[in-house]
Chains A and B, each alone.
Chain A
Amino acid sequence: MKFGILVNEGPYTHEASDTAYQFAKAVLEKGHEIFRVFFYHDGVNNGTRLTVPPQDERNIVRCWSELAEKHQLDLVICIAAAQRRGLMDAAEAKRHGKDAHNIAPGFRISGLGQLIEAGIQADRLVVFGG
């Protein structure tokens, strides 16, 4: 089965991202496909490479990046939600005249249409958080 995943909450405050990550891992282990993981609302904060959690805690951002690398996952951060919350890649930083960017490996920034497309293409769209 082909899954789409929507993550609506940021890391640590809310369990949604952890649960979505565990779900994604289980889906892949069972041999299913993930069309896309879309990050919306505060969920965009899962894609900043500047998180430095204590060493005895899970690093949620790194978990997503590693899963993406291992399975060629498409991790998409909503551009409108990201702009509100200070998430940007190099191109966005340049476009807005900012002195830094912070997107984590394996993530990309794109529009809400990517969420709708995931709903259309996936057999199931599973929503976490919110």
Chain B
Amino acid sequence: MTDETGGGVAKKFLYVNRKAPYGTIYALESLEVVLIGAAFEQDVSVAFIGDGVYQLAKGQDTKGLAVKNFSPAFGALEDYDVNKLYVDRESLLARGLNEGDLLVPVKVVSASEMAEIMDGQDVILSF
């Protein structure tokens, strides 16, 4: 699962986001890992499953919560060369969302496709 790229060996990292963006800090701190990890020039993918799909929902307004709306940062992932974003289709549909409701371009995949994506990774960090 590793391949030589230039000077070093790149591993395939998958970050799995399973939690809603607010209510707990997992989503925000997961994003912090993705952004720091991007500097390490590994092969990065990010998956959104279950309530994790809410992290990408457009129109987040956190004023009433008095916490920072960090969703604009997902739009910056591309600048960090993080552009493999996978969203679980069933999770989206179960929450009344579709691809058009999301902040950034993603690949919507079935559960079995997601399983294959996971199977192909070296390192999976789930938050």
Contacts and interface: CB of A to CB of B under 8 A. Distances in A.
A112 B35 CA distance: 10
A130 B26 contact: yes
Contacts of A111: 36
Interface stretch (A17-25, A59-67, A95-103, A114-122): A114-122
Interface in A103-130: 111-113, 115-117, 119-120, 125, 127, 130
- Interface of A, helix, strand, loop or mixed by DSSP: helix
B29 A120 contact: no
A123 B99 CA distance: 36
B37 A112 contact: yes
Contact of B13 (A6, A119, A130): A119
B127 A116 contact: no
Contacts of B117: none
Interface residues of B, number: 19
Nearest to B9: A120
A41 B40 contact: no
A60 to B, nearest CB: 21
B13 A112 contact: no
A6 B37 contact: no
B106 to A, nearest CB: 22
A93 interface: no
Contacts, number: 50
Contacts of B124: 125, 127
B25 interface: yes
A40 B29 contact: yes
A125 B121 CA distance: 12
Nearest to A112: B36
- Most chain-B Cβ atoms within 10 A of its Cβ — which of A81, A116, A127? A116
Interface in A21-65: 40-41
B32 interface: yes
A116 B126 contact: no
Nearest to A118: B123
Contact of B29 (A41, A119, A127): A41
Given A119-B122, A119-B125, 4 more contacts: A116-B33, A116-B37, A120-B9, A127-B124
Interface of B: 9, 11, 13, 25-26, 29, 32-33, 36-37, 39-40, 42, 122-127
